[in-house]
Amino acid sequence: MKRLQVIISGKVQGVFFRHFTKKRASALGLSGEVRNTADKKVEAVFEGRRDTLQKMLQFCKKGPPGATVEKVEETWSNATGEHNGFTVKH
């Protein structure tokens, strides 16, 4: 199992990015969390199979309707197992 952390920049707050991320991650069977950052970015952590994480990464690079993704920073590591399901942090 792998872990993928992403920081997404652009017009990504106020466009339901977190909601769409949770819906997509849950549908793919990934665990983790997503949150807005103080500097108007979205940060997410996903854990699961690498091929499934690659699909999630492609979603993050596009985003939901209304979003304009300018940059996605990605960090790969081994899964920690600390998440149970997928949550939206406020």
Residues with a catalytic annotation lie at 18, 36
Look at the block and give the residue holding tokens 């993050």.
Answer: 60
CB of 63 closer than 8 Å to CB of 15: yes
Do residues 38 and 81 make contact, with C-beta atoms less than 8 angstroms apart? no
42-46-49-54 Cα dihedral, nearest 10 degrees: 0
